Each structure stands twice: as C-alpha cells, then as structure tokens.
Chain A
Amino acid sequence: MTVTAGLDLGSLTTKAVVIRDGAIAGSVVMKSGVRSEDIAWRALKAALDQAGIGEEQVDGIVATGYGRVRVPFAHRKVTEITCHARGIYHLWPEVATVIDIGGQDSKVILLDRGGKVRDFVMNEKCAAGTGRFLEVMARSLEVNVEEMGELSLAAPRGASISSMCTVFAESEVVSLVAEGRPVAEIIRGLHEAVAQRVAAMASRVGWEEPVAMTGGVAKNRGVVKSLEDNLGTAIRVPPDPQIIGALGAALLAADSKK
C-alpha cells in the first residue's frame, strides 16, 4: 500500500489531498493564514484523519502553491503549474488545455499527450481575472462570492464593465449600482470581463481542445459559462476543482515512489 499526500498552499486557501494506491482517501480545504507551516500541518492532519491514516504511514509529501517553500516537512516542492497538469491528466488524460483560476493568479497550461506541460502562461502583476478580483466585487455588491455564479446565470444580459483593473472596476461597479442596474447583470458583466481576459491569455498560448478548468473559481458556474462562450467550446470541470493542484502534488509524490 502506498500513501502519499499533496499540499497546495494558495493565497486564499490551503488544500490537502491524501491518496492511497492512486485513489483519493481524504481531502480538505482551509483558509490560508500567515503561518503557512501551521496551516499546512493542520490541513494534512485533517486529511489523514478523514482517510483514517496515521502520519507515520505517509510515504511521500509534495507541496505546491505560493506557500510551498514554507513547508519544511514536505519531501519535494513542485510548482502548481505542473501539479494542476498532473491532477487533470489523472482524471482526463485526453485534456489538452487546463485553465486554472486561483486566488491571486490565473494560468493557462498546455499539455502534451503524456500529460506533461508543453507551455503555459500566467497573468501579470495584476489581480484582474482572479478569485481576488471576484471577492472584491462581491464585497462591493454585498453578496457572497459563492452566490455569484447562480445570480449571474439568472441575468438576461451582462452590464458592460470597461475596466479590468480591480480598483477601477470596483469604481465602475459602484457607479452601476448607483444607476440602479440589477446586481445580477453587474455580476454577469464581471464574469464576462474575467472570461474575456482569461480567453485572451488562452489565445496567447494557443489553447487546444479538450479544455478543463481547475481552481476555486471553477466552482462559479457563471464564469465557466462565460468562458465557454468566449472560447466557443465546452469546458470540463472536476467535481472538486479546488483540490486538483493538491491531488496532482500527491500523485507526483506517488510517481516518485514507483
């Protein structure tokens, strides 16, 4: 029996996945804090408890995400680009493009037929088109970020959001609210703006079908729908898109045991 764990320390959430003989045995998502090492350890313990596995039974741990360098008990550190690619390849080996929108960055990753990263592109020093962008807007609109997807799908049209800078877009949202535009239309407009930005990134790297989406924002059906409309293709979303990076990390840990 091989037991490995993957830890994905993102800017907003920390994810832990434990796999036993290639199958997920436990997974947790927690809020990230300033003490990465503590959070990583707590997330790992929670995932192990869920799986009913003792820490002494773990054969390998891979850390990924921005906090990966702050996990001293990890046996290896691997970037989230490689981990998301590995996680998706495990679920759907035929996928050629992975779109990952996380808390503070978005990425488009091209895979070869063996699941290896062929090319990738990431957003620059700008929060536009990320989970943080949507969080800021949700706060301005006084809605929960989890509600945004369903609200936007109910809107007949999207409000036009001209600026993709988070600060200016927030000002625009405030103006639209003052004009009395329905919140659902504003949210749909925001989703379209995010989708346009990510689609432009995908075009820059030369995306190919089939496409899958990972990261916390993939849980927002409104963004996925807007992205599908922009790219003109269906996008596959795993049951729990937020843990794919951690899953990939756990699989890479298992790969190195073979």
Chain B
Amino acid sequence: MGALIGWFCHYTPVEIITALGFTPYRLLGREGNTPRADTYLVGNLCPYVKSCLETAIRQELPPLAGTVIARSCNAMIHLASTWPRYGGRGATLVLDVPRRLDEEAVLYYSQDLRRLAGELARLGERQLEDSLLWQAIDAWEEQRSCWRGLLAARARGEICLSGSDVMAWLDGWQTGMTAAGRDKGQAGSATIEQRSRPDFRGRPRLMLAGSILPAELPALVEEWGGWPVCEDACNGRRFLLAEVARETGDPYLHLARLYLGGPPCPRMVADQTRRQQYWAGVVNDYQIDGVIYHVMKFCDAAIYDFRAMKDFCDRRGLPLLRLDGDYTGGGRGQWQTRVEAFLEMF
C-alpha cells in the first residue's frame, strides 16, 4: 500500500491518486464536538469540515503524504485556507470543481485535474502516464460497478442488506484501509456472504438523503423500525457515480465527465433539473416509500436542496422527514421521536 493521500469531497478523482501509487484515504471526521477547530473556523460553518480539522489538530489521522481539498463549497474553501497551517502534515493540494455539467465545465475541470495530477506527481517518485491513469480508471470502475450491482440487488429485494452495513463497508472502501477496499472487485461481497442478513421486509423502504450522512444514522433508523434502501449522500450512493461512455484519448476529459456527470450533489446549484431526475430514478428503482433528509447544520446547499426535495416529494405524494444534525454523534435523542413518529405515519 502506497503513502496515503487524504481527500474529502466525492468530486475528488481518486483514480489520479491511485495511478501515482498513492492510497486514497477519505477523511470522514470524528465523533464529538470540535473545540480546537472552533478556534480557527467560524461558528456557523459545516460541522463535517470542522470535524475533519479537529481530527488533524488532535493528530488522530494516519500519516498523510498530502491532502487534496476540492474547493467545492464555501466550507471547503475555508478548510483549504486553514488546513495547510493547522491541519495536515504533508502537502495541501486544491481542486476547483464546477457547479454545473456542460462541455465548458467538463473542459475546465479536466484541465484542473491535469494540473492536480502534475502537483501530486511531484510528491511521489512516479511520473503519471495516461496508460497508468486508464488502468486506475478501469480498476475503480470495476469496483464501483460491483457496488452498484450489489445495491441494485438490494433494491430488487434479491439480497437483504442493512443500511448500516452498507455505510460501514463504503466507509472502509473509501478510506482504502480495509481488505474490501484493496481487493479489486470484491466490494465487500465476501463479507456479505458471511454475515447474517437482517430481514426488514414489510418495513417502509426509505431513502436517506443529505450532503454527507452521519455514520450512525442508518443504524438508528433501522433500530427504530425503518429500512434504509438508498443512501443518497456523498459518502453513500453518490460516491459510486454512474457509468459513462469511455472517452478515447484524454483520460482527464473522461474523469471530468465521469465525476461531474455522476449523481449530482446539492452544491450543483446549476444542475437542479438533473438532480430532480436522479431522485425520480432512485424513487422508482428502489421503490422508495418515504424520504428522510438529513440537513447538516449551516450547510446552505443542503438547506436549499431540502426545499427542492420537499417540492419533489409533495408532487410524488412521498412522506418526507427533515432531520437536523451537527455531526457530533449526539443526535440520537432528538432524532428518535421524529423518526418513530414518521414511521408511524406509514
């Protein structure tokens, strides 16, 4: 396993990191409050970002050769400013992600990815050749395809997986530190075969949505009687992107199209139509009975996105519950009554 390169936002192409011989390591923060990060970041800023900075300040991260920060939202822009001084050891590399999907955006992003690849290459001992990058693209696509198949089988009811397990495996895979994450194409399926499968049939089938989902939320929803069958979050289904036609020639153009063309994040403010179409697809494919939307405190993108989701659910006649959270792991008491009351509505 190569040296670790930290990353945050799911618009970060991990293929470039892998192709250079590094191991991509996703930073997902920690449980608890963030007193040290609060020293450097304003109070009304994304708790996930603060949580990640807190782990770095407390030196709870494994050694990182560098960190890629996609300046994909306001909070990430602030993180990119503070991380080099207070956060990570190793280099800090930034990436600017467009907020829309069109040819200009794809071209711009591909050029920024090429720049990022050059900067990352200078951290290691390997020059990045297109052939190596294509290999990494294929390897990641193979794993993502395996995950997509697994989740599609769950949606069809062929296998019964708990949302909490899915989130845990995805977390492991994204941090690249587990066997499931390293073994090409396995995508946790070996683990799945060995586990007892929970039987949630008959429960309301739920989509959990938001910007980034707290790791404990799917498990709590299951404990209280729901069945999360789709986690629309950047640490869930969205990270699996969507298959795109293989470009010939420029791998950076392919990556730009792959990432910008995946399930859109709430930050893609100029791409709302596609986000609505994506929801419609999820609701149909996963036979969703209701939606629980987790709004991260101070995440403007998620708050606006929630309004769009409410309009969407009203049109479809889908029950929708809004949960507010601050990513500290302390939401249980506040969420329980809301989730149980929501499930009693079915």
Residues of B close to A66: CB separation below 8 A: 337
Residues of B close to A258: CB separation below 8 A: none
- The contact sample of 17 A-B pairs, CB cut-off 8 A, is A78-B344, A79-B337, A79-B340, A80-B337, A80-B341, A81-B337, A81-B341, A82-B341, A116-B345, A117-B341, A117-B345, A118-B345, A119-B319, A124-B324, A124-B334, A125-B324, A125-B334
User: Which residues of B are interface residues toward A (Cβ below 8 A)?
Assistant: 319, 324, 334, 337-338, 340-341, 344-345
Residues 113-144 of A at the B interface (beta carbon under 8 Å): 116-120, 122, 124-125
* Smallest CB separation, A207 vs chain B (Å): 15
Residues of A close to B338: CB separation below 8 A: 122
Q: Are B344 and A81 in contact (CB under 8 A)?
A: yes
Say what secondary structure dominates the interface of chain B. Answer: helix
A81-B337, A117-B344, A124-B324 are known; give 8 further A-B pairs, CB within 8 A. A66-B337, A79-B340, A79-B341, A79-B344, A81-B344, A124-B334, A125-B324, A125-B334
* Smallest CB separation, A76 vs chain B (Å): 11
* Smallest CB separation, A214 vs chain B (Å): 15
Considering the chains assembled together, what is the distance between the CA atoms of A115 and B319 in angstroms?
16
Considering the chains assembled together, what is the distance between the CA atoms of A124 and B337 in angstroms?
12
Residues 32-54 of A at the B interface (beta carbon under 8 Å): none
* Smallest CB separation, A96 vs chain B (Å): 16
User: Which residues of A are interface residues toward B (Cβ below 8 A)?
Assistant: 66, 78-82, 116-120, 122, 124-125
* Smallest CB separation, B145 vs chain A (Å): 39
Residues of B close to A119: CB separation below 8 A: 319
* Smallest CB separation, B311 vs chain A (Å): 12
Residues of B close to A80: CB separation below 8 A: 337, 341
Considering the chains assembled together, what is the distance between the CA atoms of A198 and B345 in angstroms?
22
* Smallest CB separation, B93 vs chain A (Å): 37
Residues of B close to A117: CB separation below 8 A: 341, 344-345
Considering the chains assembled together, what is the distance between the CA atoms of A79 and B341 in angstroms?
6
* Smallest CB separation, B337 vs chain A (Å): 5
Considering the chains assembled together, what is the distance between the CA atoms of A78 and B334 in angstroms?
16
Q: Please name the 9 residue pairs, one residue from A and one from B, whose CB atoms are nearest each other, closest first.
A: A81-B341, A79-B341, A82-B344, A79-B340, A117-B345, A79-B337, A124-B324, A125-B334, A79-B344
- Chain A residue nearest to B320 (CB atoms) is A119
- Chain A residue nearest to B326 (CB atoms) is A125
Cβ-defined partner of B337 (8 Å) among A118, A122, A125: A122
Residues of A close to B341: CB separation below 8 A: 79-82, 117, 120
Residues of B close to A79: CB separation below 8 A: 337, 340-341, 344
Considering the chains assembled together, what is the distance between the CA atoms of A120 and B342 in angstroms?
8
Considering the chains assembled together, what is the distance between the CA atoms of A81 and B319 in angstroms?
15
Residues of A close to B337: CB separation below 8 A: 66, 79-81, 122
- Chain A residue nearest to B224 (CB atoms) is A79
Considering the chains assembled together, what is the distance between the CA atoms of A117 and B345 in angstroms?
6
Considering the chains assembled together, what is the distance between the CA atoms of A78 and B336 in angstroms?
11
* Smallest CB separation, A200 vs chain B (Å): 15
Considering the chains assembled together, what is the distance between the CA atoms of A23 and B322 in angstroms?
36
Considering the chains assembled together, what is the distance between the CA atoms of A78 and B340 in angstroms?
8
Residues of B close to A122: CB separation below 8 A: 337-338
Considering the chains assembled together, what is the distance between the CA atoms of A66 and B334 in angstroms?
10
* Smallest CB separation, A98 vs chain B (Å): 12
* Smallest CB separation, B327 vs chain A (Å): 13
Considering the chains assembled together, what is the distance between the CA atoms of A81 and B324 in angstroms?
18
- Chain B residue nearest to A124 (CB atoms) is B324
Residues of A close to B334: CB separation below 8 A: 124-125
Residues of A close to B340: CB separation below 8 A: 79
